[in-house]
Amino acid sequence: MLILSCDWGTSSFRLHLAEADSERILLSRSASSGTRSVFQQWTSDQGRSRVSLFLDVLRGEILEMSNQLDRSLEEIPVLISGMASSSIGMKELPYAHLPFPVSGETAIVDQWPASDAFPWPVYLVSGLRSDLDVMRGEETQMIGLMEQIGRGKAVCILPGTHSKHIYMANRTIVDFRTFMTGELFEITGQHSILSNSLKPRGESTGTDRSAFLHGVRRAKASHYFNALFSVRTNALFEVYDAFQNFEYHSGLHIGYELKSLFEETPDTVVFICGGGSLSERYELAFQTLGLPNPLRRISAEEVELAALKGHLLLLRARS
Using one digit for the tens of pLDDT, what is the confidence trace for 214-233? 999 999 999 999 999 999 99
Give the integer Cα–Cα distance in Å for 137 and 310.
Answer: 10
Q: Which domains does the chain have, with CATH numbers?
A: 2-136 (3.30.420.300), 151-300 (3.30.420.310)
Q: What residues form DSSP beta bridges with 167?
A: 155, 175
Listed in sequence order, the residues at least 6 apart from 223 whose beta carbon sits closer than 8 Å to its beta carbon are none
Give the integer Cα–Cα distance in Å for 230 and 259.
Answer: 19
* Claim: this prediction has a pTM higher than 0.85: yes
DSSP E strand boundaries for the chain: 2-8, 13-19, 25-31, 78-82, 96-97, 100-101, 109-112, 122-125, 128-129, 134-135, 154-158, 163-168, 172-179, 269-273, 295-298
Q: How many CB atoms lie within 10 A of CB 270?
A: 21
The CA–CA distances, whole Å, from 307 to 18, 47, 286 equal 12, 33, 26
Mean pLDDT calculated for residue range 290-315: 95
Using one digit for the tens of pLDDT, what is the confidence trace for 75-127? 999 999 999 999 999 999 999 999 999 999 999 999 999 999 999 999 999 99
Burial class (CB in 10 A: 0-12, 13-18, 19+), 101: middle
Give the integer Cα–Cα distance in Å for 36 and 50.
Answer: 12
Q: What is the rounded average pLDDT for all residues in the chain? A: 95
Mean pLDDT calculated for residue range 159-178: 97
